[in-house]
Chain A
Amino acid sequence: MKEIKDFYQLEKDIAALKAEIDKIQESDDQDKRKKIEDLRAKIKDEWTQIGANLSPVHIVQIARHPKRPYTLDYLESLTTDFTELHGDRRAGDDPALIAGFGFYHGRTAAFIGHQKGRTTRQRLARNFGQPNPEGYRKALRVMKLAEKFGFPVITLIDTPGANPGIQAEEKGQAEAIAYNLKEIAKLRVPVINVVIGEGGSGGALAIGVGDAILMLEHSFYSVISTEGCAAILWKDQSAVDLAAENLRFLSKDLMEFGVVDTVIPEPPGGAHVDYELTYKNVDKYLHTTLKKLEKKTPEERIQERYQKFRKIGVFTEK
């Protein structure tokens, strides 16, 4: 049997069941709940067959799924009164990275996340979720504001990577990323990162480190994109599957390497098949982590944060 490389083909039946659910949801059907439950059960059955045999390339496709919940979707569900703040106070505003404050479980928290678009127009407007230096600097500005008031910082990671453009270089994107890392290391308030989709290299890292890194089951966090890696190491654009297998960037790999603290389970079929359950799962783990971190003093958190990254790496010492 030939392996199906395309996840979108693989999930066809599930997508059809999901479409049925959406239709029933909007109807006035008296039996709504029961019918939806049955369909969810069917999706679950379907998923037990394909879910176990997913290749890393499939996971990349799930993480990049055009229907996957994005940062603003999470904010709408998890927060009230979310207020987006704009601009880095230096050069401009970056629509690929949003930042602001909202109430989370009855208290103020800073939320920072990459934002992709759904329509072609939105995608272009959001630059496909690839941040510019203004984005990293805005993120840091909001983190420092959070620190001023003693509010926790929660970041949502979903980017293909930094913007490979002339202006991004002119404005010093390397410095912007580096400076964020150094300043996050000193931040006195809790910082929690949630990888919700693509964790693309430096563009992800600039807001993707803190006291605890949580990761949705079918997301990835990588030093380089599979396409970039294939082009550089295999000198062959079609070697993406080889790159994906070698890079070991899945949630279970990152748990093994001590990078990720918690893997958040996704609903059968992936996050895009059941938004409500996804939000519920993210909220559960996020809130637990936050409560745990808030019990510590700023000094303890900063020290433990340092140790978390200090320990990452594999080498031998003779």
Chain B
Amino acid sequence: MTGIWTRCNNCRRILYKQDILDNLFICPECNFHFRLSAIDRLNMLFDLGQYELIDQDIFPEDPLGFKDTKSYAVRLKENIKKTGLSDAVLNAVGTMDGIRIIMSAMEFAFMGGSMGSVVGEKITRAFERALEENIPAVVISSSGGARMQEGILSLMQLMKTSSAIANLDKGGIPYISVLTDPTTGGVTASYAMLGDINIAEPNSLIGFAGPRVIEQTIKEKLPKGFQRSEFLLHHGMLDDVVERRNLRSYIIRVLRLFLNKPRTE
């Protein structure tokens, strides 16, 4: 479907594209939350959509010389061209309601938001900078998990990022983790689940093992709503499910609570 019309992935209604754009990429008919790019996330959450991108000059390599149906080197080039990003995450500093924060937003369109060396490095740098500057960290996750093409190096990024969060604990630095559709695998099994609070947008797929893998293993159909935000909330893995239109105000409120900074008016 091209042009000014599009179809909702959920309710299948034909929609006027501008209506979705004006509505934070939420279907006006059924409240379905479309996936957002990393840039859209930053634009939507920072004050006046203004921020400074940092750690922009870090580029991936092909340390394993990995080649499946296509070589990793070629895949990287294609994804860099397609998204205009160096890898699957953007780091930015700016303010939310005047509070200076550092935010990392993941880009699912870049190789399924997979975490290799660059994502691990940038997320770690964001946490380290939060500690140095004594400012809160916010991470918006969207990822299929560790990047297979970087093998064990990807797996070790789970420990690298989690270790950086351990230092935030010691430093008393707030860290808010926002899980969006989809967040699975190694990202869930590291920083996405380690927020001081973990929140998610409605109906986001969140889990460790992918639903297809589980289905193939246990050889039965998965229950309805399995591994969706509301399921995780029910099982105690999330602090809340927050609609996109309330996300910014929710984060600001929690930041103020953790920083002990009541609104002054």
Contacts and interface: CB of A to CB of B under 8 A. Distances in A.
B191 A178 contact: yes
Chain A interface bracket (under 10, 10 to 19, 20 to 34, 35 or more): 35 or more
Interface in B155-181: 155-160, 162-163, 165-167, 169-170
A173 B208 contact: yes
Nearest to B62: A314
A178 B155 contact: no
Given A170-B235, A246-B64, A257-B152, A209 B207 contact: no
Interface string A292-318: 000000000000011001101111111
Nearest to B118: A315
A223 B159 contact: no
A165 B217 contact: yes
B153 to A, nearest CB: 6
Interface in B100-148: 116-118, 120-121, 124, 146-148
Nearest to B157: A313
Contact of A165 (B66, B192, B218): B218
A165 B222 CA distance: 10
B97 to A, nearest CB: 28
Contacts of B63: 257, 314
Interface residues of B, number: 62
B156 A172 contact: no
Interface string B205-228: 001110001100110001100110
B169 A182 contact: yes
Given A182-B166, A209-B159, A313-B153, A229 B148 contact: yes
Contacts of B208: 162, 168-169, 173-174, 177, 202
A166 B222 contact: yes
B236 A201 contact: no
A249 interface: yes
A182 B162 contact: yes
Nearest to A221: B152
A223 B60 contact: no
B190 interface: yes
A233 B70 CA distance: 9
A248 B191 contact: no
Nearest to B170: A186
Interface string A240-267: 0011001111000110010100000000
A160 B65 CA distance: 24
26 contacts: A166-B214, A166-B222, A169-B208, A169-B226, A170-B235, A173-B209, A174-B192, A174-B207, A177-B158, A177-B208, A181-B163, A182-B162, A184-B159, A185-B163, A205-B158, A205-B159, A222-B151, A223-B148, A223-B154, A224-B148, A235-B69, A249-B151, A306-B167, A309-B159, A312-B156, A313-B160
B134 to A, nearest CB: 19
Interface string A180-195: 0111111000000000
Given A170-B235, A246-B68, A313-B120, A182 B194 contact: yes
B153 A186 contact: no
A313 B156 contact: yes
* 9 closest cross-chain pairs (CB), A and B: A313-B117, A181-B162, A174-B188, A174-B208, A314-B63, A185-B163, A233-B68, A185-B166, A164-B209
B235 A164 contact: no
Given A174-B193, A185-B162, A233-B148, A162 B66 contact: no
Contacts of A253: 151-152
Contacts of B24: none
Interface of B: 57-61, 63-69, 116-118, 120-121, 124, 146-148, 150-160, 162-163, 165-167, 169-170, 185-186, 188-194, 207-209, 213-214, 217-218, 222-223, 226-227, 235-237
B152 A182 contact: no
A315 B63 CA distance: 8
Nearest to B68: A233
A175 B151 contact: no
B211 to A, nearest CB: 9
Contact of B165 (A182, A221, A309, A317): A182
Q: Which of A202, A253, A315 has the most CB of B within 10 A?
A: A315
Given A185-B159, A186-B166, A223 B151 contact: yes
A228 interface: yes
A32 B121 CA distance: 57
Contacts of B191: 178
A178 B193 contact: yes
Nearest to A316: B59
Given A164-B213, A179-B194, A228-B213, A312 B148 contact: no
A281 B57 CA distance: 45
Contacts of A8: none
Contacts of B217: 164-165
B162 A178 contact: yes
Interface string A186-229: 10000000000000011001000100000000000111100011
Contacts of A287: none
A280 interface: no
Contact of A246 (B61, B67, B147, B207): B67
A184 B186 CA distance: 17
